[in-house]
Structure 1
Amino acid sequence: MSEKQTVSVALIGYQFMGKAHSHAYRDLNFYFDNPLKAELKVIVGRNEASVKEAQEKFGFESYETDWRNVINREDIDVIDIVTPNHTHAEIAIAAAEAGKHIITEKPLALNVEEAKRMLEAVRKNGVKHMICHNYRYVPAVQFAKKLIEDGKLGRIFHYRANYLQDFIVDPNFPLVWRLKKEVSGSGALGDIGAHSLDLARYLIGEFDEIVATMETFIKERPIGEMTGGLSAKGDTSQMGEVTVDDAVTVLARFKNGALGTFEATRFATGNRNKNKFEINGEKGSIRWDMEHMNFLEVYFADDEIGEQGFRLVNCTEEEHPYVGAYWPAGHIIGYEHTFIHLIDAFFRGIASDTQPTPNFEDGVINQRILEAIEQSAEEKRWVKI
């Protein structure tokens, strides 16, 4: 692979995340001096008319309606999986056995056993692998990581995270795949809570034990399907059972002694994508909010009395991770750029024969935490990770 200047990509799926990943491949080399360049070879989707439209719009050479037709193609180097969660394991294991590098959306699988089989497959076949926890690649989040590693906050006491959305509050919002356990694995927990859990591990360390509660507020919904982004349409004359959580609240202890609180819900009216965290340490604190992703709020306890308080750092200086590739300071970047940064790491891993992060190992750990949360909520007790 090191001799190749291009990496041929097969994208399995074409809706919300398909659009985000395609954009990242197309813009990667415009901004970054990456040793590899993506060749958008084929895009796959079951609906022929829709996937053909996506192929033309996203810039792929061709399309297919069955992922099995592309897995063993010799002209494909990377399999990118952006399909519903219940398909991840089968596609990823087949791709690994065919010697393809793999990137997949989160959560890694439906359960821990599937996730472990995926990890075993990529290890056995020696392919590179990533899971798309793109929020790790926000410049402000990476700056927060540096502050923590440099000891600027000292000993960490608290990690406080919320991921709040409201797109399914309407009881007539249909029973899409995200609301079916056999397809998604879990609801708000795996869809958005998984991001908060991954950020916590990335920033302050591994979990020790958790206790949790979960709730499904609307038990039945009209039968329907996603139509793009987070939009959907349904038939109110036919109803089906919601089999996942609408909201979850978690208390956690970390192995380093810190305490954590986590809330993930799709019923927080007025919040479209409020992914935020606050970290409190002995020397200071930091706050971040995805809806204002370029900014990091920073407080240092050793500031002069009378001058203390949270300061707002605009993480667009050249000293901040990644942003030097874009615009002058103060000219903010957006959500789509987090995927470019992740793909940049993925391709550099392929080119240098090193394993980038977050990868399937992180996915397995995250899956264990998700499963422990469900167990805790069901059994109403603390659960060790």
Structure 2
Amino acid sequence: MLFRVPAIDQADERVLAELERFRGELRHQVAEPRRWLGQLRRSLIAGAIRGSNTIEGYTVDMADAEAVAAGEEMPTARDAQTRAAVTGYADALTYVLQTARFEVFAFHPMLLSALHFMMLRGGLGSSPGRYRAGPIWVSGAPDNPPVYTGPDAERVPELMDELCQRLQSGDRDAPVFVRAAMAHLNLVSIHPWRDGNGRMARCLHTLVLARQLILAPEFSSIEEWLGSSPHNTAMYYAALGDAQGGSFQPERDAHGWLRFCLRAHHLQAQLVQRRLDIAAEIWKVLADQVAAAGLGERAVAALYATTRPEGARRATYIRDEGLTRDQAIRDLQGLKAAGLIEEAGHGRTQRYLAAGPAAQAERSVHAAIIAQPLRDPYGVD
């Protein structure tokens, strides 16, 4: 037995309808050929990688997460365990994002175990890909009593079979955001592996979206939102705890958990829309600045990258634009001579940051667009 889809009330229906509108509007915007979309996509993927790992205590900054998302080495020195956790999760998430285009696909326990192996292959002592052989509980902190106890290990195989069967052919009439939320709750409640269950549940949430959303799933994942602040993470754990009731009790009503996930999706959609608006406006302003400096249009991509908090790296600019090293150096030096960027760091940590009028433009556009707070979709029932 697994958690069932709870009854959906009028407030939920309203939020789901708003999510569909967001989805349609975002799909239209993403379909238009805009050169900054590639950088925005990578930023969203990096946010998901960083957010999901932050929840588990593996903290990296956005520059590191973006480097991993781009297939590059992290510019910051990190311990081996953190590097393995972040790169493993990036590999699994990359596979998940590609499933949207798979002609042959099926939810199967072996698929989930393979994703788990990708995530935890850096620590073979955790038996990546293999179900746990004994009891498991979550304490929340060392020396604390358990806050959740998983089902007996003997039940795990049958529960995983049931979960995959439901994902493959059950609840087909339920909205995809609802199916993804319930997949998340069921997998983390089964707790089939010794480690990595939370990351896998969040990854499965995104996988369900990837298989049913026409819009690229990186624009719909809530992994970034869940780990973006201690407040959001605390609410996430509280919603899980309320749904689970301390042990495997799938007969419990999961409506509170569903509302939490729908609210998170709505808030993340608002944030993505803000990023799209900011990116489009900043790109226009920067294009004028590059033209006024007498530089080629290609340099706008480099200048745009420098306006983000983590800045731009020469290697990433070379790869994104298909340039030679000399071309990239020439563009960056031209922007620096025009007073639009400045260098920070050395060697592996070297990056370029917006300066002068470019930095001012970014601040002005950003402040204008975020002047209004996000709207709580359940604020008015």
| TM-score interval for Structure 1 and Structure 2 normalised by the shorter chain | under 0.3
Larger radius of gyration: 2
- TM-score, normalising length from structure 2? 0.26
- TM-score, normalising length from structure 1? 0.26
Name the one with the larger helix percent: 2
Name the one with the larger strand percent: 1
